[in-house]
Amino acid sequence: MSKIYALAIHGGAGTILKSAMTSEKETAYSNVLREALEAGERILKSGGSALDAVEKSVCILEDSELFNAGKGSVFTHDHTHELDASIMEGRERKAGAVTGLKRIKNPISLCRAILNHSEHVFLMAEGAEEFARDQGISLVEQDYFSTGLRREQLERIRDSGKTQLDHADDELKKFGTVGAVALDLNGDLAAATSTGGITNKRYGRIGDTPVIGAGTYAENGVCAVSSTGHGEFYLRAVAAYEVAAMIKYGGLTLEEASRKLIHGIIPQMGGDGGLISIDAQGEICMPFNTEGMYRASVSKGQSAQIFIYR
């Protein structure tokens, strides 16, 4: 049994400038991050599982319209919402993932149900929602996810033929993903990631978030990772697993591997973003190559830390 626990969460990375942030909004973001962190820590502190902790933390972030996941998700070109998520535990490397959800309040909890109760790993759209009904998970109406801000973002670019990463305005933009990684007192690792995708997306576009090994990965004795960034590049890099592989086969430390991906591999490909990671010793790394990343961490014997800017 491990003598330590640790938890890290993120709410997306991007051009997050203090000069463009009101004190009220900064406080609102910090409060939700703190709530999600404290809820996950309570589970870990009481001997609960890393899997329970990351699910709980991500649910709280999904329930806040401040983040592009769950409530407050961005609009597709067709004025709908398509939500993606994944979760993975490190002991047996079981996982659950979903894409194209339109009526599930907390996608991460459906991922957990898939991990626990399905022979499959990855379910999509109507099939995933049918599985949710079979599991007694209630569905919500599409307008639950909608906010005026997200609708305005779509209308600004809908006819331009362009997509747009989650942002509040041209000065305050971020990659719309939330996630959590944890180590529990049993030494088990887990990771979870959830997103509403990108504004004005078409053709059923899927990013890295629901793809095991790209947006999310966990393996006991190695690390757990949740990514946030330009999904196409993280898919091509198999980003979350790449960090684990550099540790497992390359002998790098968590910090070396995480930083190499974020400050080397991803920008060399033309992408940007960040990630949160944790290893079997409870070390936490939260690198990003943008102006900011909503992030927070806590571990046994260490007080909570909450950051937004570089």
Q: Which residues are catalytic?
A: 177
CA distance 74 to 83: 9
Q: At a CB cut-off of 8 Å and minimum separation 6, what does 234 contact?
A: 207, 208, 214, 215, 227, 240, 266, 271, 273
Q: At a CB cut-off of 8 Å and minimum separation 6, what does 279 contact?
A: 183, 222, 223, 247, 253, 254
- Describe the strand order of the beta sheet including 273-279 as a list of residue ranges: 216-219, 223-229, 273-279, 284-285
- Which helix (H) or strand (E) is 182 found in, with range? strand 177-183
CA distance 179 to 167: 18
For residue 263, what is the DSSP state?
A: I
How many other CB atoms sit within 10 Å of the CB of residue 207? Answer: 25
Q: At a CB cut-off of 8 Å and minimum separation 6, what does 172 contact?
A: 15, 16, 17, 20, 21
CA distance 226 to 221: 17
The angle formed by the CA atoms of residues 33, 116 and 52, to the nearest 5 degrees, is: 25
CA distance 83 to 246: 30
